[in-house]
Structure 1
Amino acid sequence: MSFSSHVLDSVSGTPAERMRLRLHRLAGEVYEEVASGVTDSDGRLKGWELREGRYRLEFATGEYWQAKGFNTFHPEVTVTFTVDDDAAHYHVPLLVSPFAYTTYRGS
């Protein structure tokens, strides 16, 4: 299974470039980090391979907003999701501002 993410900055209306993401997979009762990366100039991160299981994707929103000179309510955004289809592509987009965010399962 392949994975991608796309982060958009709703303050500027542009891609959220250089946001750090970390991916953790549930192993027993604890989550273990399996990948990390930074969004590209289009706010995208892609190329991670996943297997079935439960994951936590952490977006370092606090670092991102601090670098832009904003205070933020959310120091990070964590999206927990389940991978259950070997043939599917998993896409997790994030629309962010300093005080709000939204996400969904993309395609």
Structure 2
Amino acid sequence: MREFQVMGSIIDEETRCKHYNSKVDIIAIKFHCCKMYFPCYSCHEESGCGTHKVWPKDQFNEKAVLCGICKHEMTIEEYKNSQYKCPSCHAEFNPGCGLHWELYFEN
């Protein structure tokens, strides 16, 4: 299994952070601007590159979402169509993340 470095205020090995740490807060997102994984927008704001850019629609085939349980790396399109479950290990993701789509991905 490939190892991924997730940056930010991580509190466990399943990518939960000080901002989002419920049972289902188990994804990290690779930010388009710096190509680094963070658990959330707030973590990126605190310790990221300082130049926030969302993923453009024409790059939704890029692998940019990481399951914190099995470390499966998904494309943005795969994540978008996942119904908030990992396609590899079937762990449940937080459906509330969909409310913040525009912080990470172009609408």
Same fold by TM (over 0.5)?
Answer: no
More strand by share: 1
Calculate the TM-score normalised by the size of structure 2: 0.30
Point out which structure has higher relative CO (alpha carbons under 8 A, 6+ apart): 1
More helix by share: 2
